[in-house]
Amino acid sequence: MNNWFTVKVKYTKQLENGAFKRVSEPYLLAAMTFTDAEARIYEELGSIIRGEFTVTNIARTDFHDIFQYEDSDTWYKCKISFEGATEDSDKPKKVSQNFLIGAHSVKEAYDRMHESLSTMLVDFLIPSITVSPIVDIFPYVEDLDREISRKPLIELEDEPIIQTGKRVYSAPGSDLDDELEDEDEDDETFDDTDVDSEFEDEFTEEA
């Protein structure tokens, strides 16, 4: 099955002023295993990053869906919560899901989340919106993934298009879709070295 993985890479980056700086940046991609994620990040970034780069961390990451807008390259992690039914109890349980959405601000991310989830049959809350350090995402690419026999990450054709330039990505079959609020987000991690991202500053704003 395909899941989302956050892969952190370290390399020497040329800044706008011409100076060079050693940075560590996280990317999000679809893969079946940690090994698959590592192989794919080298394929994806090999033609983008000049010089050598090193994979320093791979973590399985829980995102129920990803809403990508062509007009924004900033990502926001949005957490929603709602009451879900259980098979063995009449008492509903509180379910939390994480989404990633492109936007220019917290307010726009909040509005876009409500638009994108307007077809949900239950009421939900958005307890937190956090700016994400993710630099870019790499969803399923048919020609690339066929070469190494990956299962496709499905682009949801039946998802309503709320705004021009929006794409919706989901990792089907993931066992990380629904989690209780008190569970950890990243339950499995591969870590070569403890390297901090240059994108360390995050904020949370109550919606």
Phi, psi at residue 25, to the nearest 5°? Answer: -125, 140
pLDDT at 207: 39
pLDDT tens digit string along 109-127?
Answer: 999 999 999 988 889 999 9
Q: Say yes or no to pLDDT of 200 above 90.
A: no
Cβ atoms of residues 188 and 60 within 8 Å = yes
How does residue 85 score in pLDDT terms, banded at 50, 70 and 90?
Answer: confident
How far is it, in rounded angstroms, from Cα 75 to Cα 60? 18
pLDDT at 203: 37
How many C-beta atoms surround the C-beta of residue 94 within 10 A? 11
**CA angle at residue 73 from 141 to 49, to 5 degrees?**
60
pLDDT tens digit string along 17-42?
Answer: 989 999 999 999 999 899 999 999 99
The DSSP line for 124-145 is -EEEEEEE-----EE---HHHH
How does residue 141 score in pLDDT terms, banded at 50, 70 and 90?
Answer: low
Cβ atoms of residues 10 and 23 within 8 Å = yes
